[in-house]
Chains A and B, each alone.
Chain A
């Protein structure tokens, strides 16, 4: 079974870039058909799809975040990453990486709390 684990700084200053990495185990990120997603959850709120990258290299970004988001894959490390630029306090959230054979997250990481504060 695929397992995912997020890593990265828990504190980011306003206007800087949030960077998170998701390490995949129990499966290869090069395997065909998988969607590699980032999802976030603001404190006490619901779930928001940030975007995903498809195994063929195409990607989708939430229109509300598109101008600030980049999702990339490093097949040599079996990882995929999220970069969110020009962060504000409104970007404080738990960030999850997830994957599935549809654009439907079947497997999730445990989540990484990122706080934006000076």
Chain B
């Protein structure tokens, strides 16, 4: 099974700052089948990025994804108050099945 390791576990930043979240896969992901989700307390996760770098419908352009192989990054260029949440990466390359990272909590400093 592919294991996704996210870092850091918690990231403390202020509104307006840039956030960089990392996701590392235990095996190379073919075709960059890597997604990012945002989850706020009491809500379901929301798809932000798919195929490593494509923004989902309605996602602001301050969110961007990059990477290939085993190393992937989610960048939020200028943090808005509503961006503080937990972020998960997910791989859907090695079907059947898919796995999630353990999450990065982005909190207000």
Question: Is B102 within 8 A of A46, CB to CB?
Answer: yes
Interchain CA distance A36-B103 in the complex, whole Å: 23
Q: Are A49 and B56 in contact (CB under 8 A)?
A: no
A60 nearest in chain B by CB position: B96
- Complex formed: what's the CA distance from A60 to B99 in Å? 13
Question: Can you list 12 A-B contacts with CB-CB less than 8 angstroms, sorted by A residue number?
Answer: A46-B102, A47-B90, A60-B97, A98-B44, A104-B35, A104-B47, A104-B50, A105-B90, A106-B47, A106-B50, A108-B44, A108-B45
- Chain B at the A interface: mostly helix, strand, loop or mixed? loop
Interface centre among A46, A49, A62, A111 (most CB of B within 10 A): A46
Q: For this complex, into which size category does the number of interface residues on chain B fall?
A: 20 to 34
Best-surrounded residue of B35, B46, B47, B98 (most CB of chain A within 10 A): B98
Q: Which 9 A-B pairs have the closest CB atoms?
A: A60-B96, A108-B44, A104-B92, A47-B100, A103-B92, A46-B102, A103-B98, A46-B103, A106-B47
Q: Is the CB of B102 within 8 A of A103?
A: no
Cβ of A46: which chain B residues have Cβ within 8 Å of it? 88, 100-103
Could you tell me if B92 and A102 are in contact, using CB atoms closer than 8 angstroms? yes
Cβ of B63 within 8 Å of any chain A Cβ, yes or no, is: no
Assembly CA distance A46 to B102 (angstroms): 5
